Chains A and B, each alone.
Chain A
């Protein structure tokens, strides 16, 4: 009896090593394929047949997609959907390598270096607005875009220059490659590079820092503006509200993209259709602070050109 136990243990150990090695190999081959610039014929698995679906990407979208997946599973009990956060870059990389069926991103795939955007199909599932956010005691409700740029590039250093309190301005940024930062810089600052400031990855931490630091300013998605610990500013007298994003008056917003490699099939298609259904678009999205994609009156392309949708 004892003998067999030992053998089983050793066999398990060897199997583990083998598996680790295999994993390493497959990853490596994926990476090298990518580096060669090829990789068009990467293993297209029959994800449609099996009832499991892997989704990864943008951490900003994770709560929404995970909640939608829960509702989807309630209706389709045999579907197995895994939603991982990890960042837009990870989502785009993994979907173009075929590791996951759906890759979520809060920027256009065209905007990310090294992603074969033409192989990916874009599904704009939601829209999220972002507002400049200050400490509640800054004494400001509205900021013009020109002033916003001056504040973030460090030309204005004290709130009293804008009619607020005599407080030194403290910038709170997101990391260089973050999607929220990219959106804010592009549409809020017209592409001007923000000056150095405290940098945090998580929007929750950003919110905490702004609420506790006198004179702080940062930017947050509308979904984080749930209480009055921080104050969202109007830009050029336009309030940061869902309606103003929908009709194109408030400039700082981004799509939440779900990318698939080629046309979606099977469960991936079912799930994306479910995301676009009225039930999710006007139910869950609103609850979570997102703006339904099908309610937009304007649209934008990857270059940032905004046009009105003709109805």
Chain B
């Protein structure tokens, strides 16, 4: 109560308590930061330790794991090639970014430049709502709507990479849109005024001035969306078919690293070769996520320069 009543000035002037609160605040923030750093490092270390077990034990060669397309862990002569899943993961990620990227950026342009007042009022809550839907619900909706739709319109069983891409596109749309919105909003009004002063139309201003200026941030938005798509397991697992063959096209069923991990993890015993290879797939996921982050860092460094 007393804290609420005192003004900022009196609070700052309370000399005796000032040093103490400075210290406590520092301590609190430092502790939080250290916890974050420690947990990130330990997760990385743990995953690396588990993930390289396969190769240390000599059960599977690194090159076989990364380049062979034969995955038969329960066969007489087990084969552990994860290439189809790596290809599957990368292709659904790239394709969903191709769909959700333009949609998200267009939505952001609409909200900021074209219909700021009611556009934001309507579009923003709708997009934020998409974040709150659990992925199992996305998966179930896709299973009941998207899969039969694909089956009836283009044929096949419907369980396909395309179904996975559609689900993922919807799931990463909010990420891309909200970051793109911030990126476009943060462009100074001088840019817009300058463009108009030179006689540009609104479309010219958007296309030639605002979007190029925000370009690095827009790429960051797409890559963050891709990182999310890359790690998503549940919804994709329900609709993609999870076959071990190398996908030949978007209408073929396929599998991703995450879907194979979630499908098999519970059934395998700790320390078995198959269990270890699943950890190795986790490590591959982490490595590729790091790659995404490096790209983001590179892009944002360019933006600041």
Contact = CB atoms under 8 A, between A and B. Distances in A.
A199 B263 contact: yes
Contacts of B32: 13
A13 B30 CA distance: 12
A212 B148 contact: yes
B74 A34 contact: no
Given A10-B28, A13-B31, A177-B274, A114 B245 contact: no
Contacts of B72: 176, 193
B243 A196 contact: yes
B151 interface: yes
A145 interface: no
Task: Classify chain A's interface size.
Answer: 35 or more
B269 A201 contact: no
Interface stretch (B102-110, B115-123, B214-222, B234-242): B234-242
Interface residues of B, number: 44
A294 interface: no
B266 interface: yes
26 contacts: A6-B28, A9-B28, A10-B31, A13-B31, A13-B35, A24-B46, A59-B266, A85-B266, A88-B266, A89-B266, A89-B269, A89-B270, A90-B266, A92-B269, A93-B270, A114-B270, A114-B272, A115-B269, A170-B157, A175-B264, A176-B73, A176-B267, A177-B264, A193-B72, A205-B143, A208-B143
B97 interface: no
Provide the main secondary structure of the chain B interface: helix
A35 interface: yes
Contact of A112 (B157, B237, B269): B269
A115 B42 CA distance: 28
A199 B241 contact: yes
A113 B269 contact: yes
Interface in A146-186: 170, 175-179, 182
Given A175-B264, A200-B238, A212-B148, 19 more contacts: A6-B28, A13-B31, A14-B31, A24-B46, A87-B265, A88-B267, A89-B265, A112-B269, A114-B271, A114-B275, A115-B269, A175-B267, A176-B73, A177-B74, A177-B274, A198-B157, A199-B241, A199-B255, A208-B143
A289 interface: no
Contacts of B151: 213
Nearest to B50: A31
A224 B170 CA distance: 33
Interface of B: 20, 24, 27-28, 31-32, 35, 38-39, 42, 46, 72-75, 143, 148, 151, 157-159, 237-238, 241-245, 253, 255, 262-275
A8 interface: no
A52 to B, nearest CB: 23
Most A Cβ at <10 Å: residue of B39, B262, B274: B274
A14 B241 CA distance: 45
A197 interface: yes
Contacts of B75: 193
Contacts of A176: 72-74, 264, 267, 274
Contacts of B31: 10, 13-14
Interface string A188-222: 00000100111111000100110011001000000
Contacts of A88: 266-267
B243 to A, nearest CB: 4
Interface string A7-36: 001100110010010001000000100110
A234 to B, nearest CB: 26
Interface string A105-147: 0000000111100000000000000000000000000000000
B267 A113 contact: no
A304 interface: no
A31 B38 CA distance: 21
Nearest to A109: B269
Interface string A223-250: 0000000000000000000000000000
Contacts of A31: 270-271
Contacts of A178: 267
A209 B32 CA distance: 46
A202 to B, nearest CB: 9
B139 to A, nearest CB: 9
Contact of B159 (A9, A193, A198): A198
Nearest to A59: B266
A89 B267 contact: yes
A262 interface: no
Contacts of B262: 201
Given A10-B27, A176-B73, A87 B143 contact: no
Interface in A71-113: 85-90, 92-93, 97, 112-113
Nearest to B274: A177
Contacts of B74: 176-177, 182
Nearest to A34: B271
Contacts of B73: 176-177
Nearest to A97: B270
A177 B237 contact: no
A195 to B, nearest CB: 10
Contact of A196 (B42, B46, B245): B245
